[in-house]
């Protein structure tokens, strides 16, 4: 009887069991490298194209700021949702996250931006604030006056006979300075984002 | 601190209760908290018991962007938790409001304004591993010198 009790005690006090009871944990606390984390810099030089900020769906998640060394995208944790769009949209591959960059290279995909300028002629007073505020207009026609009149055909938009006319929509960079400067809220900029995949070249037979 | 007090602190830190409260989120983070309970992540192997009762809780998980309906109630829930206690903000919503924090929305983030938050887990939604790590890091500090302060 005494012998069997000892046997039982020994059986239940196995060292491996005690070790398991105290220390055994499943090991889920490791995140695989291919999971999309918060975007990290790859070390390439940022060209300040701002595609990351344009494509970001979360408000205030990414900012391109000017550091001592140059432009650098800064991710704000607590705002970022780890969708990886900024990694995909960047034309220079500044950011990396999971295996997005490899997939993008393999599949030959990219994101294309264009902007549409919508003007509500009911609200527009033809003051020309948008034309003079536009930074692209400023570069093209530095002589543009306060009324937004211009004799230059290369500007994005100008005032003609009291009405605003959009000439070169394709030059818009989507900065929305015109939206801010409009006193009546008549001008709106819409961002159009298109996914694009390069056609795969078929091998010649 | 005597050895007995140290042992008490250590044992208590290995056995904590968690309550969670959703103050207006999309339920994504709730599902991730739920995933912590599942066998894949298994929060109970660390001695953490999710028992949704603030009276028994040590750690409160706050999820969501703080809608007006929670204005006094969240503080009430926080006051019901006996000392020592800590609150962990799960997800982007309690930190910044994330997608809900837009013009003309009624949410009032961050939750930090309303109750003291000990740890924040960013992500939309955060991974169960990150939630687990946050709770594990908080539980050590909750009972760190509790015996000493309250003999």
Give the residue numbers spanning the domain of B43: 3-149
Write down the pLDDT at residue B61: 93
Burial label for A176, CB within 10 Å (0-12, 13-18, 19+), is middle
Q: Is residue A137 within 8 Å of A156, Cβ to Cβ?
A: yes
A130 belongs to a structural domain = yes
CATH of the domain at A185: 3.30.70.20
Write down the pLDDT at residue A27: 60
- In this prediction, residues A79-98 reach a mean pLDDT of 88
Write down the pLDDT at residue A67: 84
Q: Are residues A105 and A46 in the same domain?
A: yes
* Residue A203 pLDDT greater than 70, yes or no: no
Tell me the pLDDT tens digit for each residue of A7-23.
888 877 888 888 877 77
Q: Chain B: residue nearest A35 by CA?
A: B127
- In this prediction, residues A42-53 reach a mean pLDDT of 84
Total number of domains in chain A? 2
* Residue B148 pLDDT greater than 80, yes or no: no
Which member of B45, B98, B129 has the closest CB to residue A79? B98
Q: How many helices (H) and strands (E) does chain B have?
A: 6, 5
CATH of the domain at B119: 3.40.50.12280
- In this prediction, residues B22-38 reach a mean pLDDT of 90
- In this prediction, residues B20-28 reach a mean pLDDT of 90
Write down the pLDDT at residue B55: 93
- High-pLDDT (> 70) share of chain A, %: 94
Other CB atoms closer than 10 Å to residue B52's CB: what's the count? Answer: 12
Distance CA B117, CA B87 (A): 5
CB-CB under 8 Å, A80 with B124: yes
Where does A133-197 show beta strands of DSSP type E? 157-160, 163-166, 187-197
Q: Are residues A121 and A100 in the same domain?
A: no
pLDDT band at B4 (very low <50, low <70, confident <90, very high): confident
List B residues 1-20 in contact with A (Cβ-Cβ < 8 A). Answer: none
Size of interface A-B (CB pairs under 8 A): 53
Domain boundary among A69, A86, A109: A109
Q: Are residues A178 and A122 in the same domain?
A: yes
Instruction: Give yes or no for B148 touching A (CB within 8 A).
Output: no
Residue to mutate among B25, B46, B92, B109, with most A CBs inside 10 A, is: B92
CA B132 to chain centroid? 10
Chain A residues whose CB is inside 8 A of the B123 CB are 81-82
Element (H, E) at B49: strand B48-50
Give the residue numbers spanning the domain of A85: 40-109
Which member of A31, A38, A76 has the closest CB to residue B129? A31
Q: Are residues A137 and A101 in the same domain?
A: no
List B residues 36-75 in contact with A (Cβ-Cβ < 8 A). Answer: 40-42, 45-46
Tell me the pLDDT tens digit for each residue of A140-192.
888 887 888 888 888 888 888 888 888 888 888 877 888 888 999 899 888 88
**A200 vs A91: which has the higher pLDDT:** A91
Total number of domains in chain B? 1
Chain A residues whose CB is inside 8 A of the B62 CB are none
Phi, psi of B120 (to 5 degrees): -125, 140
Q: What is the ipTM of this complex?
A: 0.79
Q: Are residues A44 and A105 in the same domain?
A: yes
Q: Are residues A123 and A181 in the same domain?
A: yes
* Residue B10 pLDDT greater than 90, yes or no: no
Comparing CA positions, the residue from B21, B89, B20, B84 lying closest to residue B58 is: B84
Write down the pLDDT at residue B89: 93
């Amino acid at each position: 009887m005494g012998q069997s009790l000892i046997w039982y005690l020994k059986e239940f006090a196995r060292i491996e069991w005690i070790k398991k009871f105290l220390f055994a944990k499943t090991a889920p606390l490791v995140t695989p490298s291919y999971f999309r984390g918060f975007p990290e810099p790859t070390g390439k030089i940022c060209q300040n194209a701002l595609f990351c900020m344009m494509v970001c769906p979360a408000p205030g998640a990414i900012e391109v700021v000017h550091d001592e060394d140059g432009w650098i995208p800064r991710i704000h944790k607590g705002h970022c949702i780890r969708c990886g769009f900024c990694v995909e949209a960047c034309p220079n591959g500044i950011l990396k996250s999971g295996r997005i960059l490899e997939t993008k290279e393999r599949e030959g995909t990219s994101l294309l931006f264009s902007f549409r300028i919508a003007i509500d002629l009911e609200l527009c007073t033809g003051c020309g604030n948008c034309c003079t505020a536009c930074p692209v207009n400023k570069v093209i026609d530095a002589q543009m006056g306060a009324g937004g009149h211009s004799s230059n055909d290369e500007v994005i938009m100008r005032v003609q006979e009291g009405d605003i006319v959009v000439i070169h929509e394709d030059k818009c960079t989507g900065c929305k300075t015109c939206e801010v400067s409009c006193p009546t809220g008549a001008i709106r900029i819409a961002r159009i984002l298109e996914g694009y995949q390069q056609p795969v070249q078929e091998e010649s037979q | 601190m005597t050895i007995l007090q140290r042992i008490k602190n250590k044992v208590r830190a290995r056995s904590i209760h968690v309550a969670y409260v959703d103050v207006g989120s999309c339920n994504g983070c709730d599902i991730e908290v739920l995933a912590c309970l599942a066998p894949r992540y298994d929060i109970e192997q660390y001695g953490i018991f999710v028992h949704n009762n603030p009276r028994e809780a040590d750690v409160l998980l706050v999820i969501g962007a703080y809608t007006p309906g929670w204005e006094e109630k969240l503080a009430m829930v926080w006051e019901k938790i006996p000392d020592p206690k800590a609150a962990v903000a799960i997800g982007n919503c309690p930190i910044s409001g994330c997608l809900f924090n837009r013009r003309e929305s009624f949410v009032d983030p961050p939750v930090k304004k309303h109750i003291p938050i000990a740890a924040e887990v960013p992500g939309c939604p955060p991974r169960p591993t990150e939630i687990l790590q946050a709770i594990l890091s908080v539980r050590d500090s909750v009972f760190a010198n509790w015996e000493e302060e309250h003999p």
